[in-house]
């Protein structure tokens, strides 16, 4: 399986990617992970990226693509991969197409996680994380026995700053601005596969498996 996951924050892309990674031995690749690993390892690309990150700027597409080329050559990609959150723009998609063509890699599809906007807002604003052990809960979908207290370790639950409603709404606006052209791009190429991400997780995974012929 060689796929791209597209969808808003809170759509469950990371959760479903983890399930498929465990089931099929796929590499789960995100831009953030690649950047952090290159910076941590002090690679030449990492040093270049760090200059932009330290100044608050965006890392140029050519640097990201170069990191992606190296990542796709690692052994864990031989069984397949999931690109999570990349590409984000049409120029990135075009650069990725050229990269994959040059590496003789064919995508099995681009999975679009479709989910009602309000459900995303409810999922993200209701998320609470244990400050001690990191366990994740949700006030609407996975509450604790004692409000505000972790079932696992008794730690205090906190809300991340980027899960506040005004921040979530802005994140969704940015996603919608960037992704609408990307959806059209892959739809015109006949690669887009739409999946109802508002359902139970196991049904979403089954839909993805069916879509790519697993």
Where does 152-200 show beta strands of DSSP type E?
Answer: 157-158, 192-196
Report the distance separating Cα 146 and Cα 57, nearest Å: 43
Nearest CA to 110 out of 91, 131, 96 is that of 96
Please, which residues have CB within 8 angstroms of residue 136's CB and are 6 or more apart in sequence? 127, 128, 129, 130, 142
Report the distance separating Cα 206 and Cα 197, nearest Å: 11
Strand partners, 110: 4, 192
| Burial (CB count within 10 angstroms: exposed 0-12, middle 13-18, buried 19+), residue 41 | exposed
Strand partners, 183: none
| Burial (CB count within 10 angstroms: exposed 0-12, middle 13-18, buried 19+), residue 144 | middle
E strand or H helix that includes residue 37: helix 31-41
Give catalytic residue positions: 13, 88, 127, 160, 171
Report the distance separating Cα 182 and Cα 172, nearest Å: 15
């Amino acid at each position: 399986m060689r796929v791209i996951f597209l969808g808003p924050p809170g759509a469950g892309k990371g959760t479903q990617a983890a399930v498929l990674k465990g089931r099929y031995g796929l590499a789960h690749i995100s831009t953030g992970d690649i950047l952090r690993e290159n910076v941590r390892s002090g690679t030449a690309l990492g040093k270049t990226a760090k200059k932009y990150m330290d100044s608050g700027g965006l890392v140029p597409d050519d640097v990201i693509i170069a990191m992606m080329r190296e990542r796709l050559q690692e052994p864990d990609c031989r069984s397949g991969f999931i690109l999570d959150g990349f590409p984000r723009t049409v120029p990135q998609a075009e650069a990725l197409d050229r990269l994959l063509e040059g590496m003789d890699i064919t995508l099995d599809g681009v999975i679009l996680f479709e989910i009602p906007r309000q459900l995303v807002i409810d999922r993200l604003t209701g998320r609470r994380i244990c400050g001690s052990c990191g366990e994740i809960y949700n006030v609407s979908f996975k509450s604790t026995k004692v409000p505000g207290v972790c079932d696992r370790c008794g730690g205090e639950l906190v809300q991340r700053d980027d899960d506040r409603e005004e921040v979530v709404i802005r994140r969704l606006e940015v996603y919608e601005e960037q992704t609408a052209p990307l959806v059209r791009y892959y739809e015109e190429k006949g690669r887009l596969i739409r999946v109802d991400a508002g359902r139970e997780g196991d049904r979403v995974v089954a839909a993805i498996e069916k879509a790519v012929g697993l």
